Amino acid sequence: MDLKNKKILVTGGAGFLGSFVVKKLLEKGILKENIFVPRSGNFNLRKWENCRKITKRQDIIIHLAAKVGGIGFNRERPGELFYDNLIMGVQMMEAARQEGVKKFVAVGTICAYPKFTPVPFKENDLWNGYPEETNAPYGLAKKMMLVQAQAYRQQYGFNAIYLLPVNLYGVGDNFSSESSHVIPALIKKVADAKRENKDFIEVWGTGKATREFLYVEDAAEGIVLSTERYDKSDPVNLGSGMEISIKNLVELICKIMDYKGEIHWDITKPDGQPRRMLDISRAEREFGFKAKTNFESGIKKTINWYLEQV
């Protein structure tokens, strides 16, 4: 699909990932006036009439808007995370179908995978069990967009695709102590400890759990490539193909930030999913996506950006 003269709606387009997706679209030569980014203050997507309003006269919708946070946020607000994400996805896709939108790109989450998925996670494993408990309401709400996309393709011939990005990080990430994910949370902890001359930091869990991370700019590139080149019903993983334990991640951040204090593990807090790493072969095969950013250099960029802000 040539995106050049298409009208493209990017929900969540002012957010962390969305701002990079908009940047990539502009780099492809799409006119700024053809990209619409609805702001949540003006368009609450939990309201049906707003979903109808913003989908009118759009050719493509990239649905990134989500309520999201780390393990603590997920434990405190499971109902909100389930309802808000489910209702936004369902209504946006239905409004797009009713308005005759040519393509809908649904961006899901790695939290949709079962808790004990064999590593590397293959898209065919998606329905082989229940997600990790702290992430389940959020993961299942986002997973329903896959069910909806496949059902709408079957009944209406509606072109909806579904992507499963792994944990993202990078410049512009959310560093809020209430809702940040693991990388920004750790960077903030170390920066605060250095500033306050603390000789230790406290980290949730045992450090044994593993995660895969994808630099935000790479994720945006994968989303735009899939918008151009992928039109099938099968879900597609977006990742970098690396795996690192939380223990090694903490040690890497401490090393880069030159922090010599101790790490105290709070084992009363959950680890979350035991292991996470994706099989990323389908994305490369189907639309030529391969992550470019080296993990350590991506972490350095993220740390440098954060330290400039504080």
Which amino acids are annotated catalytic?
138
Q: What are phi and psi of 272, to 5 degrees?
A: 80, -160
How far apart, in whole angstroms, are the C-alpha atoms of residue 158 and residue 150? Answer: 9
β-pairing, 8-11 with 60-63?
Answer: parallel
How far apart, in whole angstroms, are the C-alpha atoms of residue 150 and residue 174? Answer: 32
Residues 6+ apart with CB under 8 A from 3: 25, 28, 30, 60, 224, 227, 228
Alpha carbon dihedral 186, 191, 193, 195, in 10-degree steps, equals -170
Cβ density class 238-260: b for 16+ within 10 Å, e for less: bbbbbbbebbebbeebbebbebe
φ/ψ region of 272 (left if φ > 0, alpha if ψ in -120 to 50, else beta) reads left
